[in-house]
Chain A
């Protein structure tokens, strides 16, 4: 019963959303250049089905690669900031400043810096936009570790590294996954920013751009839907990982 509900409720919500959208377009009699209805999208999907698969895959792997880079760098930065107050005080304003720069402004700079290397450009933008929450959450998780947690192992003569592996790291996992859920969506935005702006970059962003150039409005909407679907898939992969590795943090309300 519960399982059925878990799947059925979101599906019904989605169906209602699509029906409402269709109805809105129909009632107002909007042309497709103003707003395409869901029923307009199927022909677009069908016509470009192979491009959707190819470009969708491109967008997906670039996002995952950027996110992976963000995890490695974010965790590393978070670790040094979590363990050393001096490093934290020094790096924090820099990080905040870096994070405050709208990534759309970085896109042309990167595109010039690595001309033609679309994969690398895209991965870099995805990385830059998504490492911040990971770094911050890991550093906060580590720096707020109560001293007693360290002391129970330190008092036995355990090394800092042992304390990190046995206590600090697992204890930070819930915060890490919380940040990862934010980061996965951000990385996705980063990938598409680059794909839309950088010419011949391919990926779903490029498909969106070509829809714009050729005034194929249903295609543009179809790309948005495809992006949303990919985003949902990535997000729930992270949720599944969280359940596996940090499921203990979920308080049962019984």
Chain B
């Protein structure tokens, strides 16, 4: 096995939230490595600290213990080389779609001319199929379209790292599959290392190179699966035997994480 330097590395992270009822541990000695250009999905029972993970990688908060490394540097504060998209597309209602997508450039893109910035935003919007909607307001768009615009905003400043916190979670099944394909297309056109938080196992199998299953709270890395599907996959692949097997294993691991499966499954999962 060849050693690939990690682009994102979580080293033995332990974190607890301070609540009125005492500390609430969410992450317990969690370590994950992600290679440059890779796509990692993180799945786990709900409330297991997945979203905390995204905020740690983005530098929006610091862990109690352990370190986050990004491109060879330790993360201590937010950095402009990160793009984020959430389940809630959080578009600004008073701006047009184009101006929404250009928002990050107002913070980090001062080096480029206005027209270059606009061309960049328009290109991205065209890539996700929102050509012709540049001057519309977010309220005039459907949920799926808003999420597409949100993805464009996350990528407009060419971040090295794309953090996706359940971005497709609130969409209906058909729209979600459309968005998966859009995401796959973006991955071909743009260069980034992606972290996807999700609780949709099929989504993780379709999009990710490796899938990390977290245990229940406090979350540890319980199981890591390398995707066995070919890199260039279609939705049909999700119904093949390889994907079915992967999904079955993942599902079993989630049940272990929820504490609902026999102990032998846990032993089997030990790395």
Contacts and interface: CB of A to CB of B under 8 A. Distances in A.
To the question of whether A and B form a pair in one complex, the answer is yes
27 contacts: A148-B86, A148-B88, A151-B60, A151-B84, A151-B86, A152-B104, A152-B153, A153-B103, A154-B60, A155-B58, A155-B59, A155-B60, A156-B82, A156-B104, A156-B108, A157-B78, A157-B80, A158-B107, A166-B103, A166-B106, A170-B92, A170-B94, A171-B94, A248-B94, A249-B93, A249-B94, A251-B139
Contact of A149 (B82, B90, B104): B90
A155 B9 CA distance: 18
B79 interface: yes
A29 to B, nearest CB: 57
Nearest to A167: B92
B58 A171 contact: no
Contacts of A152: 84, 90, 103-104, 153
A146 interface: yes
Interface string A232-254: 00000000000000101101000
A162 interface: yes
Contact of A157 (B79, B92, B94, B103): B79
B232 to A, nearest CB: 31
B137 interface: yes
Interface in A166-206: 166-167, 170-171, 173
B46 interface: no
Given A146-B88, A149-B90, A248-B137, A155 B82 contact: yes
Interface string A102-130: 00000000000000000000000000000
Interface of A: 146, 148-149, 151-158, 162, 166-167, 170-171, 173, 246, 248-249, 251
Interface of B: 55, 58-60, 77-80, 82-84, 86, 88, 90, 92-94, 103-104, 106-108, 137, 139, 153, 157, 163
B90 A148 contact: yes
Determine chain B's interface SS by DSSP, over half rule.
loop
Best-buried of B84, B108, B153 by chain A (most CB within 10 Å): B84
A146 B165 CA distance: 15
Contacts of A149: 90
Contacts of A173: 94
Nearest to A155: B58
Q: Give the 10 A-B CB pairs with smallest separation, nearest first.
A: A248-B94, A155-B58, A148-B90, A156-B107, A148-B86, A157-B78, A158-B107, A156-B80, A155-B78, A155-B84
Contacts of A154: 60, 78
A153 B105 CA distance: 10
Given A167-B92, A249-B93, 5 more contacts: A148-B90, A149-B90, A157-B108, A158-B107, A171-B92
Contacts of A156: 78, 80, 82, 104, 107-108, 157
Nearest to B96: A248
A153 B86 CA distance: 13
Contacts of B108: 156-157
Nearest to B153: A152
A148 B169 CA distance: 15
Contacts of A146: 88, 90
A153 B60 CA distance: 11
Contact of B58 (A151, A248, A251): A151
A149 to B, nearest CB: 5
